[in-house]
Chains A and B, each alone.
Chain A
Amino acid sequence: MTKVLSIASFNLLRMFRERANLFFVLVFPLLIVFVIGSQFADDDDAPDVAVAGTGAFVDRSVERLEDTGAASVQRVDSSAELRDLVEDRDVVLGVAVPDDAEDALRGGAGVELTVMLGPGDGSTQVEGVVMRAFEAEAVAADVTGYLLTLTDAAADDIGEVVERTVAAGAPVEINRVLAGGADPDDEPLGIDQVAIGILLLMTFLNALTGASALIQSRQYGVSRRMVATPTSLRLIVVGEGAGRWGVGMFQAVYIMATTAVLFGVSWGNIPAAVVLLAVFAAVAAGAAMLVGAVMHNDEQAAGITVMVGLGLGALGGSMLPLDLFSGTMRTVANITPHAWANEAFVELSRRGGTLVDILPQLGVLAAFAVVLMSLAAWRLRLTLTRP
């Protein structure tokens, strides 16, 4: 055990002695989480919508719209001011309502609203919500106007009855759910999701760079000299693997701790998350050992490392959340360990899952680790025991 720890600890010492490695392990991941997180996750405010117009109909519509929480409403005095705000992108959308809208509706006449859409997707996303708010508030006035044509009663009396009728109606409550049980209000590109993706990507990538250290050990002749000591090949292989696992584990725990403290990322059940990280780091260590045992030089390994690390990361949901993948791509993603780890983290952090809930994912990841480690050990034995 002492020998395994020695091999692993000197691996870590050599890794952290390299300043470039320190940057990629300590600074780079946080930088990415911060940059991507601030792009997507910090944008919690509802889009701004401007409304020009006065009267009870406008007041009620604006109140209804604000109650949805889908938009933040800014009242303006004129259509010209409204246009300026939309054109300057201060708001995503503007609604101009004629001042006599209430009277026109109650008189049974139609009302024409003008909607100014700003550039970008934001305006089209919020347009439907805005229009539904105005249409809903128009109903009572519209019905009042229609009833006036059928009876001799006063307009105010009819209006009061209609409003009381509308208010007394049983509300329709709509529960939004997503298949799979996720909370639909969770932003798929929220900071938690970004942090999970970056954690898996960087843990795998940085453990994989350990392949170069293994190749160097072989090139320096140190690996072969290790075989000449009273240390079995099995212990040497385990020690080299433990070194790579240590790098991956350090990276993962570091990202987990710092993003929790600095960005308030929630990782859910911490003991289960640590177990998940340990198994995922073992997968990364196995991949690093395999690359280190198969490749002949640093350049080859560096190319493979970047290609495999980024490729598996992208395919496994580390760059774009799996929720946004098409069905086919979601299925294909399952060939990567990242996708399984990603899914397990989502279970822990978004659905309050426990260790038991992620056992299937842990099992698959463990299988990945065993296969990769076994292949690497076989190849390394072969490399070290031939002239």
Chain B
Amino acid sequence: MTVIPGTRLAEASGLHKTFGDIHAVNDVSLHIDAGETYGLLGPNGAGKTTTISILAGLLEADEGTVMVAGERIRPRSTRGRAAIGLVPQDLAIYPDLTAEENLKFFAALYGMSRRDSAPRIAEVLDVIGLTDRRKDRTSKYSGGMKRRLNIGIGLLHSPRLLILDEPTVGVDPQSRNAILESVETLSGEGMAVLYTTHYMEEAERLCDRIGIIDSGRVIAEGTRAELTASIGEQERIRIEVTGQVADAASRLRGLDGVTDVAAEDDAVVVLADDGSARLSAIIERLAGAGAQIGSIDLARPDLEAVFLHLTGKALRE
């Protein structure tokens, strides 16, 4: 794979997609260069999967265009598909076939000859660490092994753009780390990667640029540094509470220096200027609301704080 870093590899312009009354994708535009990892960060239901389904040519956009490797991507045409490797969020493998058979099946669909596919399958099995278990049916695999195979299929034909839709959901920490390392390696080799996640840490670790998506719109885009700089020096305070979480959160709104408050299931997330100085006032308000306080986590400006600032919602809501 010959890659010139910085070459524009994928570009989506003005994408719109509605399902009935729901505007799932609303004027989304983004571009990804060769060797770049682009993160699409947003909570569940934000429109990430619909956006990448359009990018991968599985869904027809109501408006807008997608170009990958110089080809227009549309569901009715197979042009440009060979340049894309898709790793769907849900496992898409046959449980009654072995890892090797699954790879052979998709190699044929990617138009690879048997002569070309045999060494490539061995290579991919090695990359995903399943060489020793290649002859076992995947129904006998652990969740992490299945996830790795799911990714391996996407890598099989050495795509120029790899699209990973929340690849670490439901994965144990060890497999998760292996997946993230693989993505870093591939990006280092010049592959363009589109990575969707609702895990802030993953986006921060992997992505050169990040688009924050909410309710179908990309509401902010840039490098991690650019995005966090946009909210100044605000700190994010996450306080675990028991009791009336929503009521406790509402008590904090309007408190001096507090810019945003969001309630999670068992925690209140606060964005505040000079957060450490405001901590005692915040705790006092929560105690006054009858909330039992557990742990308190105070963090420097991060992507979660950016998301909270932009949407008024926590990323995991």
Enumerate chain A interface residues (CB-CB to B < 8 A).
Answer: 2-3, 6-7, 10, 13-14, 17-18, 217, 220-222, 224-232, 385-387
Distance from A238 Cβ to chain B, minimum over Cβ atoms (Å): 13
Q: Does B92 count as interface, using CB distance less than 8 angstroms?
A: yes
A224 to B53 alpha-carbon distance, docked (Å): 10
Excluding A6-B109, A220-B93, A387-B19, 8 further A-B contacts by CB distance (< 8 Å) are: A3-B108, A14-B96, A220-B94, A221-B91, A222-B94, A229-B106, A230-B109, A231-B78
- Kindly report which residue of chain B lies nearest to residue A227, judged by CB atoms: B58
Q: Which of B79-87, B174-182, B223-231, B297-305 contacts A (4 or more CB under 8 A)?
A: B79-87
Closest to A217 in B: B94
Is there contact, CB below 8 Å, between A387 and B53?
Answer: yes
Q: Please tell me if the beta carbons of B97 and A13 are within 8 angstroms of each other in the complex.
A: yes
Determine the residue in chain B with the shortest Cβ distance to A386.
B59
Residues of B within 8 A of A222 (CB): 92-94
A-B Cβ contacts below 8 A, count: 76
The answer to whether A10 and B92 have CB atoms under 8 Å apart is no
Specify the chain A residue showing the minimal Cβ separation from B78. Answer: A230
Pick the contact of B58: A2, A17, A385 (CB < 8 A): A385
Given A6-B105, A221-B91, A385-B58, CB of A228 within 8 Å of CB of B86: yes
Contacts of A221 in B (CB 8 A): 88, 90-92
CA distance A10 to B84 in the complex (A): 23
Contact of B78 with A17 in the complex, beta carbons under 8 Å: no
Closest to B106 in A: A229
Instruction: Name the residue of chain B whose CB is nearest to the CB of A4.
Output: B108
Q: For residues 82 through 125 of chain B, which have their beta carbon under 8 Å from a beta carbon of chain A?
A: 82, 84, 86, 88, 90-97, 101, 105-106, 108-111
Q: In the complex, what distance in Å separates the CA atom of A13 from the CA atom of B101?
A: 10
**Do the beta carbons of B58 and A14 come within 8 Å of each other?**
no
Q: How far is the CA of A17 from the CA of B95 in the complex (A)?
A: 12
Which residue on chain A has the smallest CB distance to residue B82? A230
Say whether B50 faces chain A, with CB atoms less than 8 Å apart. Answer: yes
- CB neighbours of B82 from chain A (8 A): 230
CB distance from B239 to the nearest CB of A (A): 37
> Does A10 contact B78, Cβ atoms closer than 8 Å?
no
Task: Name the distance in Å between B220's Cβ and chain A's nearest Cβ.
Answer: 25
Q: What is the interface residue range for chain B against chain A?
A: 20 to 34
Q: Considering only CB atoms, which chain B residue lies closest to A226 in the complex?
A: B109
The answer to whether B95 and A220 touch across the interface, beta carbons within 8 angstroms, is yes
Determine the chain A residues whose CB is within 8 A of the CB of B75 once the complex forms.
Answer: 227, 385
Closest A-B pairs by Cβ, 10 of them? A6-B108, A221-B92, A225-B92, A230-B81, A229-B109, A230-B78, A228-B86, A230-B82, A231-B109, A221-B90
Taking CB as reference atom, which chain B residue is nearest A6? B108
B57 near A228 with CB under 8 A, answer yes
CB distance from A217 to the nearest CB of B (A): 8
User: Shortest CB–CB separation between residue A227 and chain B, in angstroms?
Assistant: 6
B216 to A: closest C-beta gap in Å: 13
Whole-angstrom CA separation of A228 from B156 in the bound complex: 13
Q: Nearest Cβ distance between residue A162 and chain B, in whole angstroms? A: 83
Q: Which single residue of chain A is at the shortest CB-CB distance from B59?
A: A387
List 19 contacting pairs A-B, 8 Å CB cutoff, sorted by A: A3-B109, A3-B111, A6-B109, A7-B108, A10-B94, A10-B105, A13-B97, A217-B94, A221-B88, A221-B92, A222-B93, A224-B88, A225-B88, A225-B92, A225-B106, A228-B58, A229-B109, A230-B81, A230-B111
Q: Inside 8 A of A14's CB, which chain B residues have their CB? A: 94, 96-97
CB distance B88 to A229 under 8 Å? no
Q: Is B153 an interface residue (CB 8 A)?
A: yes
Q: Is the CB of A18 within 8 A of B81?
A: no
Given A229-B106, A230-B81, the answer on whether A10 and B59 have CB atoms closer than 8 Å is no
List A contacts of B15 (CB < 8 A): none
Q: Please name all residues of chain A whose beta carbon is closer than 8 Å to the beta carbon of B153 when the two chains form the complex.
A: 225
Residues in A neighbouring B314, C-beta threshold 8 A: none
A220 to B102, CA, bound (A): 12
Q: B66 an interface residue at 8 Å Cβ cutoff?
A: no
Indicate whether B56 reaches chain A with its CB closer than 8 angstroms.
Answer: yes
Query: Most chain-A Cβ atoms within 10 A of its Cβ — which of B88, B93, B96?
Result: B96
Q: Are the CB atoms of A224 and B58 closer together than 8 Å?
A: yes
CA distance A386 to B92 in the complex (A): 16
Contacts of A3 in B (CB 8 A): 108-109, 111
Does A10 contact B97, Cβ atoms closer than 8 Å? Answer: yes
Taking CB atoms, residues of chain A closer than 8 Å to B84 are 228
Which residues of chain B have C-beta atoms less than 8 A from A225's C-beta?
Answer: 86, 88, 92, 106, 153
Contacts of B91 in A (CB 8 A): 220-221
**In the complex, which residues 146-194 of chain B have their Cβ closer than 8 Å to any Cβ of chain A?**
153
CB distance from B53 to the nearest CB of A (A): 7
Kindly provide the distance from the CB of A378 to the nearest chain B CB, expressed in whole angstroms: 15
The answer to whether B108 and A220 have CB atoms under 8 Å apart is no
CB distance from A376 to the nearest CB of B (A): 19
Known: A3-B108, A230-B81. A17 touches B96 (CB 8 A): yes
Given contacts A6-B109, A387-B19, contact A18 B92 (CB under 8 A): no
Within 8 A of A (CB), among B17-51: 19, 50
A128 CB to closest chain B CB (Å) equals 61
Residues of chain B contacted by A13 (CB below 8 angstroms): 97, 101
